Amino acid sequence: MAYNILIVDDSKTIRSMLEKVINLSGVSLGEIKTAGNGKEALDSLKDNWIDLVLTDINMPVMGGMELIRAMAGDSMLKSIPVVVISSDGSTQRIKEVEEFGVSHYLRKPFTPEEVGQVIRTILEEPDGQANAGK
Protein backbone atom coordinates (compact mmCIF):
# COMPACT_ATOMS: atom_id res chain seq x y z
CA MET A 1 0.00 0.00 0.00
CA ALA A 2 1.29 3.44 -0.90
CA TYR A 3 0.83 6.17 1.71
CA ASN A 4 0.02 9.84 1.13
CA ILE A 5 1.69 12.26 3.54
CA LEU A 6 0.99 15.93 4.20
CA ILE A 7 3.85 18.15 5.44
CA VAL A 8 2.74 21.38 7.13
CA ASP A 9 5.42 23.97 7.93
CA ASP A 10 5.82 27.67 7.17
CA SER A 11 9.47 27.10 6.23
CA LYS A 12 9.89 26.01 2.60
CA THR A 13 13.35 24.69 3.53
CA ILE A 14 11.93 22.43 6.26
CA ARG A 15 9.15 21.19 3.94
CA SER A 16 11.71 20.36 1.25
CA MET A 17 14.05 18.63 3.70
CA LEU A 18 11.21 16.56 5.20
CA GLU A 19 10.09 15.57 1.72
CA LYS A 20 13.60 14.27 0.96
CA VAL A 21 13.76 12.41 4.28
CA ILE A 22 10.37 10.79 3.67
CA ASN A 23 11.44 9.71 0.18
CA LEU A 24 14.47 8.00 1.74
CA SER A 25 12.53 6.47 4.67
CA GLY A 26 11.71 3.19 2.98
CA VAL A 27 7.95 3.72 3.41
CA SER A 28 5.86 2.89 0.36
CA LEU A 29 4.81 6.34 -0.86
CA GLY A 30 1.97 7.56 -2.97
CA GLU A 31 2.08 11.36 -2.87
CA ILE A 32 3.65 13.93 -0.61
CA LYS A 33 1.59 17.10 -0.28
CA THR A 34 2.79 20.29 1.39
CA ALA A 35 1.15 23.26 3.08
CA GLY A 36 2.58 26.47 4.55
CA ASN A 37 0.07 26.73 7.42
CA GLY A 38 -2.88 25.01 9.05
CA LYS A 39 -5.48 26.62 6.81
CA GLU A 40 -3.74 25.36 3.67
CA ALA A 41 -3.44 21.96 5.36
CA LEU A 42 -7.19 21.76 6.06
CA ASP A 43 -7.90 22.66 2.43
CA SER A 44 -5.53 19.90 1.30
CA LEU A 45 -7.10 17.40 3.72
CA LYS A 46 -10.54 18.13 2.26
CA ASP A 47 -9.31 17.61 -1.31
CA ASN A 48 -6.91 14.66 -0.89
CA TRP A 49 -6.68 11.28 0.79
CA ILE A 50 -3.96 11.70 3.43
CA ASP A 51 -2.60 8.88 5.63
CA LEU A 52 -0.28 10.93 7.86
CA VAL A 53 0.19 14.61 8.73
CA LEU A 54 3.53 16.07 9.84
CA THR A 55 3.00 19.56 11.25
CA ASP A 56 4.88 22.39 12.87
CA ILE A 57 3.20 24.23 15.75
CA ASN A 58 4.21 27.86 15.26
CA MET A 59 2.98 29.10 11.88
CA PRO A 60 1.23 32.23 10.59
CA VAL A 61 -2.45 32.30 9.52
CA MET A 62 -3.32 29.06 11.35
CA GLY A 63 -0.89 27.31 13.65
CA GLY A 64 -0.40 23.63 14.28
CA MET A 65 -2.51 23.53 17.46
CA GLU A 66 -5.46 25.04 15.62
CA LEU A 67 -4.99 22.47 12.86
CA ILE A 68 -4.82 19.62 15.38
CA ARG A 69 -7.96 20.87 17.15
CA ALA A 70 -9.81 21.20 13.83
CA MET A 71 -8.80 17.68 12.81
CA ALA A 72 -9.80 16.25 16.21
CA GLY A 73 -13.23 17.84 15.87
CA ASP A 74 -13.88 16.51 12.37
CA SER A 75 -15.24 12.96 12.07
CA MET A 76 -13.47 12.44 8.73
CA LEU A 77 -10.07 13.78 9.83
CA LYS A 78 -9.74 12.70 13.46
CA SER A 79 -8.43 9.22 12.61
CA ILE A 80 -5.49 10.55 10.57
CA PRO A 81 -2.26 10.19 12.56
CA VAL A 82 -0.48 13.48 13.31
CA VAL A 83 3.21 13.95 14.08
CA VAL A 84 4.25 17.31 15.51
CA ILE A 85 7.69 18.54 14.47
CA SER A 86 8.51 21.70 16.40
CA SER A 87 11.25 23.63 18.13
CA ASP A 88 8.82 24.16 21.02
CA GLY A 89 9.63 21.16 23.17
CA SER A 90 8.21 22.38 26.46
CA THR A 91 6.52 19.83 28.69
CA GLN A 92 3.34 21.92 28.65
CA ARG A 93 3.22 21.97 24.82
CA ILE A 94 3.86 18.24 24.55
CA LYS A 95 1.14 17.53 27.11
CA GLU A 96 -1.26 19.81 25.23
CA VAL A 97 -0.81 18.01 21.90
CA GLU A 98 -1.02 14.58 23.54
CA GLU A 99 -4.48 15.49 24.83
CA PHE A 100 -5.60 15.67 21.20
CA GLY A 101 -4.19 12.24 20.37
CA VAL A 102 -1.09 13.31 18.47
CA SER A 103 0.84 10.19 17.48
CA HIS A 104 4.33 11.53 18.11
CA TYR A 105 6.23 14.71 18.96
CA LEU A 106 9.61 15.32 17.32
CA ARG A 107 11.66 18.24 18.50
CA LYS A 108 13.70 20.35 16.07
CA PRO A 109 16.50 19.87 15.31
CA PHE A 110 15.88 16.26 14.35
CA THR A 111 17.82 13.71 12.38
CA PRO A 112 16.55 12.15 9.15
CA GLU A 113 16.77 8.77 10.88
CA GLU A 114 14.41 9.92 13.65
CA VAL A 115 11.83 11.16 11.15
CA GLY A 116 12.04 7.98 9.09
CA GLN A 117 11.69 5.75 12.14
CA VAL A 118 8.64 7.64 13.42
CA ILE A 119 6.93 7.46 10.02
CA ARG A 120 7.64 3.73 9.64
CA THR A 121 6.42 3.05 13.19
CA ILE A 122 3.15 4.91 12.67
CA LEU A 123 2.34 3.63 9.18
CA GLU A 124 3.56 0.06 9.40
CA GLU A 125 3.20 -2.66 12.00
CA PRO A 126 6.23 -4.95 12.60
CA ASP A 127 4.78 -7.63 10.29
CA GLY A 128 4.46 -5.05 7.50
CA GLN A 129 0.68 -4.70 7.70
CA ALA A 130 -0.66 -1.18 7.30
CA ASN A 131 -1.37 0.64 10.56
CA ALA A 132 -2.78 3.93 9.22
CA GLY A 133 -6.37 4.75 10.01
CA LYS A 134 -6.63 2.25 12.89
Mind listing the pLDDT tens digit for each residue in 8-53? 999 999 999 999 988 888 888 999 999 999 999 999 999 999 999 9
What percent of the chain has a predicted confidence (pLDDT) above 90?
57
SS3 124: strand
Residue 134 has pLDDT above 70, yes or no: no
pLDDT at res. 89:
65
- Collect all residues with Cβ–Cβ distance below 8 Å to 95 and sequence separation of at least 6: none
Q: At 4, which amino acid appears?
A: N
pTM of the model: 0.87
Crossing angle (nearest 10°) for helices 91-98 and 64-72: 20
Mean pLDDT of the chain: 87
